[in-house]
A and B are shown apart, each in its own frame.
Chain A
Protein backbone atom coordinates (compact mmCIF):
# COMPACT_ATOMS: atom_id res chain seq x y z
CA UNK A 1 0.00 0.00 0.00
CA UNK A 2 1.35 3.37 -0.94
CA UNK A 3 1.92 6.08 1.59
CA UNK A 4 -0.51 8.97 1.24
CA UNK A 5 1.08 12.23 0.22
CA UNK A 6 2.31 14.33 3.10
CA UNK A 7 2.74 17.64 1.39
CA UNK A 8 -0.95 18.20 0.64
CA UNK A 9 -2.04 18.64 4.20
CA UNK A 10 1.24 20.13 5.43
CA UNK A 11 0.84 23.16 3.16
CA UNK A 12 -2.66 23.84 4.38
CA UNK A 13 -1.66 23.34 7.98
CA UNK A 14 1.19 25.77 7.52
CA UNK A 15 -1.21 28.39 6.14
CA UNK A 16 -3.41 27.89 9.17
CA UNK A 17 -0.45 28.37 11.51
CA UNK A 18 0.54 31.55 9.70
CA UNK A 19 -3.02 32.83 9.91
CA UNK A 20 -3.01 32.13 13.64
CA UNK A 21 0.10 34.31 13.83
CA UNK A 22 2.31 31.50 15.05
CA UNK A 23 5.82 32.91 15.30
CA UNK A 24 7.78 30.15 16.97
CA UNK A 25 7.77 26.54 15.80
CA UNK A 26 9.61 24.17 18.12
CA UNK A 27 10.19 20.58 17.10
CA UNK A 28 11.90 17.27 17.44
CA UNK A 29 11.64 15.78 13.96
CA UNK A 30 9.32 13.06 12.81
CA UNK A 31 9.13 11.81 9.26
CA UNK A 32 5.48 12.86 9.23
CA UNK A 33 6.43 16.47 9.97
CA UNK A 34 9.16 16.67 7.33
CA UNK A 35 7.49 19.23 5.07
CA UNK A 36 6.07 21.35 7.91
CA UNK A 37 9.54 21.63 9.42
CA UNK A 38 10.99 22.63 6.04
CA UNK A 39 8.34 25.31 5.61
CA UNK A 40 8.97 26.61 9.11
CA UNK A 41 12.69 26.91 8.40
CA UNK A 42 12.10 28.59 5.03
CA UNK A 43 9.65 31.16 6.44
CA UNK A 44 11.25 34.48 7.27
CA UNK A 45 8.99 35.41 10.15
CA UNK A 46 8.72 32.12 11.97
CA UNK A 47 11.55 31.25 14.31
CA UNK A 48 12.18 27.52 14.03
CA UNK A 49 13.57 26.00 17.24
CA UNK A 50 15.10 22.56 16.94
CA UNK A 51 15.06 20.86 20.37
CA UNK A 52 17.06 18.08 21.96
CA UNK A 53 14.00 16.75 23.75
CA UNK A 54 10.31 17.49 23.38
CA UNK A 55 9.98 18.70 26.97
CA UNK A 56 12.04 21.74 26.05
CA UNK A 57 9.32 22.69 23.60
CA UNK A 58 6.59 23.12 26.22
CA UNK A 59 8.89 25.43 28.13
CA UNK A 60 10.00 27.47 25.15
CA UNK A 61 6.42 28.04 24.01
CA UNK A 62 5.39 29.06 27.51
CA UNK A 63 8.15 31.63 27.38
CA UNK A 64 7.07 32.69 23.90
CA UNK A 65 3.60 33.38 25.13
CA UNK A 66 4.90 35.25 28.18
CA UNK A 67 6.85 37.41 25.74
CA UNK A 68 3.81 38.06 23.56
CA UNK A 69 4.18 35.46 20.80
CA UNK A 70 2.27 32.35 19.82
CA UNK A 71 3.93 29.07 18.93
CA UNK A 72 3.38 25.45 18.01
CA UNK A 73 5.18 22.27 19.04
CA UNK A 74 5.67 19.49 16.50
CA UNK A 75 6.54 15.97 17.57
CA UNK A 76 5.72 12.32 17.13
CA UNK A 77 3.65 10.38 19.65
CA UNK A 78 6.68 9.04 21.52
CA UNK A 79 7.62 12.64 22.33
CA UNK A 80 4.39 13.00 24.28
CA UNK A 81 5.97 10.75 26.88
CA UNK A 82 8.74 13.30 27.34
CA UNK A 83 6.52 16.34 27.87
CA UNK A 84 4.18 15.22 30.65
CA UNK A 85 5.75 16.96 33.64
CA UNK A 86 6.36 20.13 31.69
CA UNK A 87 2.67 20.30 30.77
CA UNK A 88 2.00 21.06 34.43
CA UNK A 89 3.19 24.60 33.87
CA UNK A 90 0.99 25.27 30.88
CA UNK A 91 -1.92 23.83 32.80
CA UNK A 92 -1.34 25.77 36.01
CA UNK A 93 -0.73 29.06 34.20
CA UNK A 94 -3.34 28.41 31.54
CA UNK A 95 -0.86 29.03 28.77
CA UNK A 96 -2.12 28.41 25.29
CA UNK A 97 -0.28 25.38 23.94
CA UNK A 98 -0.74 23.99 20.46
CA UNK A 99 0.83 20.59 19.81
CA UNK A 100 0.76 18.76 16.50
CA UNK A 101 1.46 15.12 17.14
CA UNK A 102 2.04 12.63 14.35
CA UNK A 103 1.03 9.18 15.51
CA UNK A 104 3.12 6.05 15.56
CA UNK A 105 2.40 2.71 17.13
CA UNK A 106 -1.01 2.22 15.61
CA UNK A 107 -2.19 1.89 11.99
CA UNK A 108 0.13 -0.54 10.23
CA UNK A 109 2.96 -0.08 12.73
CA UNK A 110 5.95 -2.25 12.11
CA UNK A 111 8.05 -1.38 15.16
CA UNK A 112 6.63 -2.96 18.32
CA UNK A 113 8.57 -0.49 20.46
CA UNK A 114 6.40 2.34 19.17
CA UNK A 115 3.19 0.61 20.18
CA UNK A 116 3.10 1.19 23.98
CA UNK A 117 3.57 4.97 23.80
CA UNK A 118 1.45 5.28 20.69
CA UNK A 119 -1.41 3.49 22.39
CA UNK A 120 -1.00 5.56 25.57
CA UNK A 121 -0.69 8.93 23.85
CA UNK A 122 -4.30 10.03 23.88
CA UNK A 123 -4.86 8.79 27.43
CA UNK A 124 -1.84 10.46 29.00
CA UNK A 125 -2.55 13.74 27.24
CA UNK A 126 -6.09 13.73 28.51
CA UNK A 127 -4.96 12.71 31.97
CA UNK A 128 -2.65 15.74 31.90
CA UNK A 129 -5.48 18.12 31.07
CA UNK A 130 -4.85 18.48 27.34
CA UNK A 131 -7.81 18.72 24.98
CA UNK A 132 -7.27 16.18 22.23
CA UNK A 133 -8.50 16.45 18.65
CA UNK A 134 -7.84 13.38 16.63
CA UNK A 135 -7.90 13.38 12.86
CA UNK A 136 -7.59 10.49 10.43
CA UNK A 137 -8.86 12.12 7.26
CA UNK A 138 -6.25 14.13 5.31
CA UNK A 139 -8.81 16.64 4.08
CA UNK A 140 -9.79 17.46 7.67
CA UNK A 141 -6.34 18.08 9.13
CA UNK A 142 -6.07 21.78 8.31
CA UNK A 143 -9.50 22.65 9.65
CA UNK A 144 -8.81 20.63 12.78
CA UNK A 145 -5.56 22.50 13.35
CA UNK A 146 -7.40 25.76 12.75
CA UNK A 147 -9.99 24.89 15.37
CA UNK A 148 -7.27 23.71 17.75
CA UNK A 149 -5.31 26.92 17.29
CA UNK A 150 -8.40 28.99 18.11
CA UNK A 151 -9.13 26.90 21.17
CA UNK A 152 -5.50 27.16 22.27
CA UNK A 153 -4.79 30.83 21.63
CA UNK A 154 -8.21 32.35 22.18
CA UNK A 155 -9.68 29.80 24.55
CA UNK A 156 -6.42 29.71 26.50
CA UNK A 157 -6.04 25.94 26.60
CA UNK A 158 -3.59 23.14 25.91
CA UNK A 159 -4.70 21.41 22.73
CA UNK A 160 -3.13 18.52 20.87
CA UNK A 161 -4.00 17.49 17.35
CA UNK A 162 -3.20 13.82 16.88
CA UNK A 163 -2.62 13.10 13.23
CA UNK A 164 -3.33 9.41 12.68
CA UNK A 165 -0.68 7.10 11.34
CA UNK A 166 -3.18 6.19 8.68
CA UNK A 167 -2.75 9.70 7.27
CA UNK A 168 0.95 10.17 7.93
CA UNK A 169 1.69 6.84 6.32
CA UNK A 170 3.90 4.20 7.75
CA UNK A 171 7.46 3.47 6.96
CA UNK A 172 8.16 1.22 4.08
CA UNK A 173 10.47 -1.16 5.91
CA UNK A 174 10.79 -3.53 3.01
CA UNK A 175 13.10 -1.38 0.93
Chain B
Protein backbone atom coordinates (compact mmCIF):
# COMPACT_ATOMS: atom_id res chain seq x y z
CA UNK B 1 0.00 0.00 0.00
CA UNK B 2 1.37 3.35 -1.05
CA UNK B 3 0.37 5.79 1.65
CA UNK B 4 3.19 8.21 0.95
CA UNK B 5 1.94 11.78 1.08
CA UNK B 6 2.03 13.58 -2.24
CA UNK B 7 4.34 16.26 -0.85
CA UNK B 8 7.10 13.68 -1.26
CA UNK B 9 6.64 13.43 -4.99
CA UNK B 10 8.72 15.66 -7.18
CA UNK B 11 7.47 15.22 -10.73
CA UNK B 12 5.68 18.19 -12.24
CA UNK B 13 2.54 17.16 -14.05
CA UNK B 14 2.86 19.54 -16.95
CA UNK B 15 6.44 18.53 -17.70
CA UNK B 16 5.44 14.88 -17.52
CA UNK B 17 2.60 15.35 -19.98
CA UNK B 18 4.76 17.39 -22.35
CA UNK B 19 7.49 14.77 -22.21
CA UNK B 20 4.99 12.04 -23.10
CA UNK B 21 3.36 14.03 -25.89
CA UNK B 22 6.68 14.90 -27.56
CA UNK B 23 6.84 11.35 -28.83
CA UNK B 24 3.18 10.91 -29.71
CA UNK B 25 3.62 10.58 -33.47
CA UNK B 26 0.15 10.11 -34.97
CA UNK B 27 -1.39 8.99 -31.67
CA UNK B 28 -4.82 10.21 -30.71
CA UNK B 29 -5.20 11.59 -27.19
CA UNK B 30 -8.28 11.55 -24.99
CA UNK B 31 -8.13 13.64 -21.82
CA UNK B 32 -10.20 13.20 -18.70
CA UNK B 33 -11.93 16.12 -17.00
CA UNK B 34 -9.81 18.24 -14.69
CA UNK B 35 -6.25 19.50 -14.98
CA UNK B 36 -5.37 16.88 -17.61
CA UNK B 37 -7.25 19.01 -20.15
CA UNK B 38 -4.96 21.97 -19.45
CA UNK B 39 -1.85 19.81 -19.37
CA UNK B 40 -2.56 18.41 -22.83
CA UNK B 41 -3.77 21.68 -24.33
CA UNK B 42 -0.66 23.46 -23.09
CA UNK B 43 1.55 21.09 -25.09
CA UNK B 44 -0.14 21.70 -28.42
CA UNK B 45 -3.75 21.98 -29.51
CA UNK B 46 -3.58 19.02 -31.86
CA UNK B 47 -6.73 18.10 -33.80
CA UNK B 48 -6.18 14.54 -32.68
CA UNK B 49 -6.88 15.60 -29.09
CA UNK B 50 -10.31 14.90 -27.68
CA UNK B 51 -10.72 17.02 -24.58
CA UNK B 52 -13.40 15.75 -22.26
CA UNK B 53 -14.44 18.58 -20.02
CA UNK B 54 -17.25 16.61 -18.42
CA UNK B 55 -18.36 13.01 -17.93
CA UNK B 56 -16.10 12.24 -15.02
CA UNK B 57 -15.35 8.52 -15.20
CA UNK B 58 -15.75 8.26 -18.95
CA UNK B 59 -12.33 8.99 -20.47
CA UNK B 60 -11.00 5.43 -20.54
CA UNK B 61 -14.12 4.08 -22.21
CA UNK B 62 -14.25 6.87 -24.80
CA UNK B 63 -10.66 6.04 -25.66
CA UNK B 64 -11.46 2.34 -25.71
CA UNK B 65 -14.21 2.98 -28.27
CA UNK B 66 -11.72 4.91 -30.42
CA UNK B 67 -9.16 2.12 -29.99
CA UNK B 68 -11.64 -0.46 -31.33
CA UNK B 69 -12.54 1.75 -34.27
CA UNK B 70 -8.91 2.74 -35.02
CA UNK B 71 -6.93 -0.44 -34.36
CA UNK B 72 -3.83 0.76 -36.24
CA UNK B 73 -3.43 3.93 -34.25
CA UNK B 74 -2.14 4.38 -30.70
CA UNK B 75 -4.70 5.90 -28.38
CA UNK B 76 -3.46 7.63 -25.24
CA UNK B 77 -5.63 8.53 -22.29
CA UNK B 78 -4.29 11.30 -20.11
CA UNK B 79 -6.43 11.64 -17.04
CA UNK B 80 -6.47 12.22 -13.31
CA UNK B 81 -6.78 9.84 -10.39
CA UNK B 82 -10.22 11.10 -9.38
CA UNK B 83 -11.53 10.78 -12.91
CA UNK B 84 -10.29 7.22 -13.28
CA UNK B 85 -11.66 6.21 -9.88
CA UNK B 86 -15.11 7.42 -10.94
CA UNK B 87 -15.15 4.82 -13.70
CA UNK B 88 -12.83 2.19 -12.30
CA UNK B 89 -14.96 -0.71 -13.55
CA UNK B 90 -13.85 0.32 -17.04
CA UNK B 91 -10.45 -1.17 -16.28
CA UNK B 92 -12.07 -4.59 -15.98
CA UNK B 93 -13.96 -4.07 -19.22
CA UNK B 94 -10.72 -3.06 -20.97
CA UNK B 95 -8.82 -5.92 -19.31
CA UNK B 96 -11.29 -8.37 -20.82
CA UNK B 97 -11.19 -6.78 -24.28
CA UNK B 98 -7.37 -6.42 -24.45
CA UNK B 99 -7.05 -3.51 -26.91
CA UNK B 100 -3.39 -3.60 -27.91
CA UNK B 101 -3.30 0.03 -28.94
CA UNK B 102 -4.54 1.66 -25.74
CA UNK B 103 -2.36 3.30 -23.08
CA UNK B 104 -3.76 4.97 -20.00
CA UNK B 105 -1.64 7.52 -18.17
CA UNK B 106 -2.96 8.57 -14.78
CA UNK B 107 -1.59 11.86 -13.55
CA UNK B 108 -1.95 11.08 -9.87
CA UNK B 109 -1.80 14.08 -7.52
CA UNK B 110 -3.83 12.10 -4.96
CA UNK B 111 -6.37 14.88 -5.01
CA UNK B 112 -9.38 16.31 -6.78
CA UNK B 113 -7.26 19.23 -7.98
CA UNK B 114 -9.92 20.93 -10.06
CA UNK B 115 -12.35 21.31 -7.16
CA UNK B 116 -10.02 22.40 -4.37
CA UNK B 117 -7.52 19.61 -3.77
CA UNK B 118 -9.67 17.33 -1.64
CA UNK B 119 -8.06 13.93 -1.04
CA UNK B 120 -8.82 11.09 -3.41
CA UNK B 121 -8.53 7.44 -2.47
CA UNK B 122 -5.08 7.08 -4.08
CA UNK B 123 -3.33 8.82 -1.20
CA UNK B 124 -5.01 6.50 1.26
CA UNK B 125 -4.00 3.04 0.25
CA UNK B 126 -5.77 2.53 -3.04
CA UNK B 127 -3.33 1.19 -5.60
CA UNK B 128 -4.51 1.86 -9.14
CA UNK B 129 -1.63 -0.12 -10.61
CA UNK B 130 -2.70 -3.17 -8.60
CA UNK B 131 -6.32 -2.77 -9.66
CA UNK B 132 -5.27 -2.50 -13.31
CA UNK B 133 -3.17 -5.65 -13.03
CA UNK B 134 -6.05 -7.46 -11.30
CA UNK B 135 -8.26 -6.32 -14.20
CA UNK B 136 -6.04 -7.99 -16.78
CA UNK B 137 -3.78 -5.16 -17.98
CA UNK B 138 -0.72 -6.81 -19.46
CA UNK B 139 1.68 -4.04 -18.58
CA UNK B 140 1.49 -1.55 -15.77
CA UNK B 141 3.91 0.85 -14.12
CA UNK B 142 4.23 3.19 -11.19
CA UNK B 143 6.28 6.21 -12.19
CA UNK B 144 7.76 8.56 -9.60
CA UNK B 145 10.96 9.84 -11.24
CA UNK B 146 12.10 11.20 -14.58
CA UNK B 147 14.25 8.15 -15.14
CA UNK B 148 11.26 5.86 -14.66
CA UNK B 149 9.22 8.00 -17.02
CA UNK B 150 11.95 7.83 -19.63
CA UNK B 151 12.14 4.06 -19.31
CA UNK B 152 8.38 3.65 -19.79
CA UNK B 153 8.07 5.77 -22.95
CA UNK B 154 8.43 2.84 -25.37
CA UNK B 155 5.65 0.99 -23.59
CA UNK B 156 3.45 4.06 -23.55
CA UNK B 157 3.83 4.62 -27.28
CA UNK B 158 4.74 1.39 -29.03
CA UNK B 159 4.61 -1.89 -27.15
CA UNK B 160 1.37 -3.93 -27.19
CA UNK B 161 -1.10 -2.93 -24.49
CA UNK B 162 -3.47 -2.48 -22.82
CA UNK B 163 -1.09 -0.45 -20.73
CA UNK B 164 -1.62 1.66 -17.63
CA UNK B 165 0.85 3.87 -15.82
CA UNK B 166 0.28 5.86 -12.68
CA UNK B 167 2.53 8.91 -12.53
CA UNK B 168 2.77 10.34 -9.02
CA UNK B 169 3.07 14.12 -9.26
CA UNK B 170 3.26 17.11 -6.96
CA UNK B 171 -0.10 18.52 -6.03
CA UNK B 172 0.70 22.02 -7.30
CA UNK B 173 -1.25 22.76 -10.46
CA UNK B 174 0.01 25.02 -13.21
CA UNK B 175 -1.67 27.84 -15.08
CA UNK B 176 -4.90 27.08 -16.90
CA UNK B 177 -4.43 26.70 -20.60
CA UNK B 178 -7.89 26.36 -21.97
CA UNK B 179 -8.64 23.90 -24.70
CA UNK B 180 -11.39 24.63 -27.20
CA UNK B 181 -14.53 24.08 -25.18
CA UNK B 182 -17.20 23.48 -27.77
CA UNK B 183 -17.74 19.73 -27.79
CA UNK B 184 -19.25 19.63 -31.26
CA UNK B 185 -16.25 21.49 -32.69
CA UNK B 186 -13.61 19.43 -30.89
CA UNK B 187 -15.26 16.12 -31.69
CA UNK B 188 -15.82 16.89 -35.41
CA UNK B 189 -12.24 18.06 -35.72
CA UNK B 190 -10.99 14.93 -33.96
CA UNK B 191 -13.06 12.57 -36.05
CA UNK B 192 -11.95 14.21 -39.28
CA UNK B 193 -8.31 14.03 -38.18
CA UNK B 194 -8.35 10.36 -37.26
CA UNK B 195 -10.57 9.04 -40.04
CA UNK B 196 -9.33 11.29 -42.84
CA UNK B 197 -12.96 12.02 -43.69
CA UNK B 198 -14.17 15.59 -43.79
CA UNK B 199 -15.71 16.98 -40.63
Task: State the A residues within 8 Å of B (CB).
Answer: 23-24, 47, 49-53, 55-69, 71, 85-86, 88-89, 92-95
Q: How far is the CA of A135 from the CA of B197 in the complex (A)?
A: 35
Q: Is the CB of B183 within 8 A of A89?
A: yes
Which of these, B64, B92, B195, contacts A63 with CB under 8 Å? B64
Which of these, B62, B97, B183, B190, contacts A49 with CB under 8 Å? B97
Closest to A91 in B: B183
Task: Looking at the assembled complex, report how far the CB atom of A94 sits from the nearest CB atom of chain B, in whole angstroms.
Answer: 5
Other CB < 8 Å A-B pairs besides A55-B58, A67-B70, 8 of them? A24-B65, A49-B97, A55-B57, A56-B90, A62-B58, A63-B67, A64-B69, A66-B187
Q: Is the CB of A50 within 8 A of B90?
A: no
Q: Is the CB of A93 within 8 A of B183?
A: yes
When distances are taken between beta carbons in the complex, the residues of chain B under 8 Å from A24 are 65, 68-69
Q: Is the CB of A67 within 8 A of B195?
A: yes
Q: Given the known A-B contacts A55-B87, A89-B55, are A63 and B62 also in contact in the complex, defined by CB atoms under 8 Å?
A: yes
Which of these, A52, A68, A92, A95, contacts B197 with CB under 8 Å? A68
Which 7 residue pairs across A and B have the least CB separation, nearest first?
A63-B65, A67-B69, A52-B89, A59-B61, A59-B58, A93-B183, A92-B183
Q: Is the CB of B65 within 8 A of A66?
A: yes
Q: Decide yes or no whether B191 CB sits under 8 A from chain A.
A: yes
Task: Looking at the assembled complex, report how far the CB atom of B191 sits from the nearest CB atom of chain A, in whole angstroms.
Answer: 5
When distances are taken between beta carbons in the complex, the residues of chain A under 8 Å from B68 are 24, 47, 49, 60, 63-64, 67, 69
Q: Is the CB of A66 within 8 A of B194?
A: yes
| Chain B 51-95 interface 0/1 with A at a Cβ cutoff of 8 Å (1 = within) | 010111111111111111110000000000000000101101100
Chain B, interface size category, equals 35 or more
Q: Decide yes or no whether B30 CB sits under 8 A from chain A.
A: yes
Q: Given the known A-B contacts A49-B93, A92-B183, A95-B187, are A86 and B58 also in contact in the complex, defined by CB atoms under 8 Å?
A: yes
Q: Is the CB of B184 within 8 A of A94?
A: yes
Closest to B187 in A: A93
Q: How far is the CA of A86 from the CA of B186 in the complex (A)?
A: 17
When distances are taken between beta carbons in the complex, the residues of chain A under 8 Å from B183 are 89, 92-94
Q: Is the CB of A58 within 8 A of B58?
A: yes
Q: How far is the CA of A53 from the CA of B68 in the complex (A)?
A: 19
Which of these, A23, A51, A61, A93, contacts B186 with CB under 8 Å? A93
Which of these, A50, A55, A63, A92, contacts B63 with CB under 8 Å? A63
Q: Decide yes or no whether B17 CB sits under 8 A from chain A.
A: no
When distances are taken between beta carbons in the complex, the residues of chain B under 8 Å from A59 are 55, 57-62, 64-65, 87, 90
Q: Is the CB of B61 within 8 A of A60?
A: yes
Task: Looking at the assembled complex, report how far the CB atom of B44 sits from the nearest CB atom of chain A, in whole angstroms.
Answer: 19
When distances are taken between beta carbons in the complex, the residues of chain B under 8 Å from A64 are 65-66, 68-69
Which of these, A23, A63, A94, A95, contacts B61 with CB under 8 Å? A63
Q: Is the CB of B54 within 8 A of A53?
A: no
Q: How far is the CA of A164 from the CA of B69 in the complex (A)?
A: 32
Q: How far is the CA of A113 from the CA of B103 in the complex (A)?
A: 40
Q: Is the CB of A68 within 8 A of B93?
A: no
Q: Which of A56, A68, A88 has the most CB of B within 10 A?
A: A56
Q: How far is the CA of A149 from the CA of B49 in the complex (A)?
A: 28
Q: Is the CB of A66 within 8 A of B50?
A: yes
Q: Is the CB of A53 within 8 A of B70?
A: no
When distances are taken between beta carbons in the complex, the residues of chain A under 8 Å from B57 are 55, 59, 86
Q: Decide yes or no whether B114 CB sits under 8 A from chain A.
A: no
